[in-house]
Structure formats: C-alpha cells, structure tokens
C-alpha cells in the first residue's frame, strides 16, 4: 500500500477516494422517503483491498453507485483521484472499472467474444482481452459459450470486463455472492494478485464478514447509511481485546483466586475439569499474554492444564462496533425524546 508521511512522523495511507458527509434518500413506490446514505464518510486508501462491510440495506451499493456516477447524492462531497464528483466524473470514470449488480453478457457468444465487443468500446485490442482472460483464469474457457459458464466463471468474466480498461481502481459489489467455496477462493486470490502485481486499489462490498477478513487490508463497516468503523485490518485487530481461556481441574479455587485479584472467570464445564474464560474487571488491564493470571494461580498451587490467549477476530470487532453504534443511536434518541 502506498503511504505518505504525516506531520507526526508516522505513515498514513495515501487516500484515493474520499466520501465526506454524503446523504442520499430515495422516494419509494409508496411515496415515502427511504434514506440510503445518512452522512456517509469514508476514505479508500491507495493500493489496498478495501472491504465494505454491512448488513443488507445498509447503503453499500448506493455508496458505490454514487462513486460511479450512477446515483447522485443529495448532499456531501466525493473526491476521487484528487477530483471532485460529479463535475469530474469523466476523468474519474476512465480510471475505474466496476462490477455492480451482476454482469450482462450475451449467452450465445463465447466469453472471449463478449469481451471483444466490450474492448472495442474502450479502444482496447485482442492483447488486452487475452491478458484479462488470463488474469481471471478463463483463458482455457475463453472459446466456450457464456451460457455454459458456471456462476463463478460468469463472475470472473464480469471482473475481466471491469479490467478491460486497465483501471487503477476496481469496484466490485458483492462479487462472491452465490459462489461455491472453490470459486470464492479463486476470487480472493485474484483480488490479491490485482493488488500485488498490478498495484490496483480494489473495493469489494460484502455482507459476509469472513470473506472480507481474508482478503482485505482495510475495512469499512456501514450501518444504516453511516460508516461506523473505517480502519486498517491490523489496526482493528489491535484494538480488539484478546480473550483468555484457562483449563483447570479445580474451577472453584481458580475462580476465587482470580476474583481476589480483580478478574472475572466465567466457567464452561468441559469433559475433565473446567474451562474458565477470564475477563478483567473494570479498571484492570486485559490479561493480554496470560502471564499475570498464570502467576496468580500457580502462587496458590492451582496449576492450569492449558492456558490459551485468543486474539479478537474481526467478527468480535464488528459486533462491538455495531453495539456501540446502536447504543449511541439509542442515546441520541433518548436525549431527543427528553
């Protein structure tokens, strides 16, 4: 990922796209207003694979469409490649490739033929078509008709189409939807190769956390049209609290020793002895490496059979971010209701 020096001497990622307080609502068929983006702010770092994560209806597609000029925001600004949208949409469009809401190809034509028609529109030639087919792993299936492609192959051809103009930024809306595990893995490898071998910035939206965790350098979590978390994956994982699990024969003694020292140990009975999940009480540091807990127990002749430090997963962080956002919303609503 490319970086620029910050004033405090640290390295901050160079931002390729920035959404700043973007609002968008739609009028539904029943005449009601449906808010899709509600002060949406996010940055896309250059050279990263960015996972745009959020439940169905949270506003991911609308945000991506706004970037692509397919939806016009009511308010707020979007800048990409240093240019403001929508005024500079043409300049930006030349640098972006996208796959939104599924690819549209002609079933009776081969994958290659479909791409060649598209290449003509972009002024690209046979070499570019061969290159992108090779990149997405469809070189051998290029001469088969599109109607015989599996869903994974269709998605890959869609990505190939998005790549035909050799974009700097690739935008993929739910590219792994409906794919089997093998096809998902293929798509993940492809996204990483585009980043590593072509220096491309890739934005991939998904509501499946595990997919995003495995491929992304950067994660943006969206809820109700707002970004509730926007950070690099290492930073996010560093923010999470690790969990400590201790397996002991005598759970009751271990619990009372730990309680004396400000730890709460929640028991889950195992086959032999018990498993205790150790949490710090408020004001007590997290038992991050377990050495403190181990010392307290062995000093009192409680010898754990096993001690495991489990790092926080992206799922833990996601759940914590959603809870914090919901609590903040409830707080706001309560205050307004007073």
Ligand X SMILES: Nc1ncnc2c1ncn2[C@@H]1O[C@H](COP(=O)(O)OP(=O)(O)OP(=O)(O)O)[C@@H](O)[C@H]1O
- Closest approach of Cβ 230 to ligand X, in Å? 15
- Sheet harboring 49-53: ordered strands across? 96-99, 169-173, 201-206, 49-53, 218-223, 226-232
- Closest approach of Cβ 313 to ligand X, in Å? 21
- Closest approach of Cβ 279 to ligand X, in Å? 33
- Closest approach of Cβ 218 to ligand X, in Å? 18
Distance from C-alpha of 137 to C-alpha of 156, rounded to nearest angstrom:
8
| Closer to ligand X by Cβ: residue 19 or 146 | 19
Q: Is there a contact between 52 and 222 (Cβ–Cβ < 8 Å)?
A: yes
Helix (DSSP H) and strand (DSSP E) numbers for the chain: 11, 16
* Other CB atoms within 10 A of residue 8 CB: 6
| Closer to ligand X by Cβ: residue 195 or 223 | 223
| Closer to ligand X by Cβ: residue 26 or 303 | 26
| Closer to ligand X by Cβ: residue 36 or 190 | 36
- Closest approach of Cβ 37 to ligand X, in Å? 8
Distance from C-alpha of 26 to C-alpha of 186, rounded to nearest angstrom:
36
- In the complex, the residues that contact ligand X under the rule CB under 6 A are 26, 28, 34, 36, 54, 56-62, 207
| Closer to ligand X by Cβ: residue 8 or 28 | 28
Among 212, 142, 141, residue whose Cα is nearest residue 174: 212
- What residues contact residue 176 under an 8 Å CB cut-off, 6+ apart? 155, 183, 184, 187, 188, 204, 206, 208, 211
| Closer to ligand X by Cβ: residue 59 or 97 | 59
> For residue 294, what are its two tokens?
């181990």
- Closest approach of Cβ 36 to ligand X, in Å? 3
């Amino acid at each position: 990922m490319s970086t620029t020096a910050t004033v405090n001497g640290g390295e901050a990622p160079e931002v390729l796209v920035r959404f700043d307080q973007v609002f968008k609502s739609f009028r539904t068929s029943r005449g009601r207003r449906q808010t899709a983006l509600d002060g949406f702010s996010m940055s896309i770092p250059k050279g990263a694979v960015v996972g745009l994560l959020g439940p169905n209806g949270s506003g991911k597609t609308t945000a991506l469409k706004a970037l692509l000029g397919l939806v016009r925001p009511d308010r707020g600004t979007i800048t990409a490649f240093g240019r403001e949208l929508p005024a500079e949409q043409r300049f930006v469009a030349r640098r972006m490739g996208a796959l939104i809401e599924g690819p549209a190809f002609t079933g009776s034509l081969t994958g290659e033929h479909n791409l060649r028609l598209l290449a003509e529109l972009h002024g690209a030639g046979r070499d570019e078509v061969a290159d992108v087919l090779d990149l997405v792993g469809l070189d051998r299936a290029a001469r088969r008709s599109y109607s015989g492609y599996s869903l994974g192959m269709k998605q890959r051809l869609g990505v190939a189409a998005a790549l035909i103009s050799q974009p700097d930024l690739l935008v993929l809306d739910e590219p792994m939807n409906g794919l089997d595990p093998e096809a998902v893995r293929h798509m993940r490898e492809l996204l990483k190769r585009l980043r590593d071998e072509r220096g491309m910035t890739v934005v991939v939206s998904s509501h499946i956390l595990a997919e995003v965790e495995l491929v992304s350098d950067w994660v943006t979590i969206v809820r109700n049209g707002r970004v509730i978390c926007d950070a690099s994956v290492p930073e996010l994982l560093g923010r999470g609290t690790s969990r400590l699990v201790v397996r002991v024969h005598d759970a009751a003694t271990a619990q009372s020793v730990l309680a004396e020292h400000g730890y709460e140990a929640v028991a889950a009975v195992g086959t032999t002895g018990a498993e205790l999940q150790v949490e710090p009480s408020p004001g007590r540091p997290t038992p991050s490496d377990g050495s403190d807990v181990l010392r307290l127990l062995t000093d009192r002749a409680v010898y754990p059979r096993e001690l495991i430090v489990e790092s926080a997963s992206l799922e833990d962080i996601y759940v914590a971010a959603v809870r914090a956002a919901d609590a903040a919303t409830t707080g706001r609503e309560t205050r307004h209701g007073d």
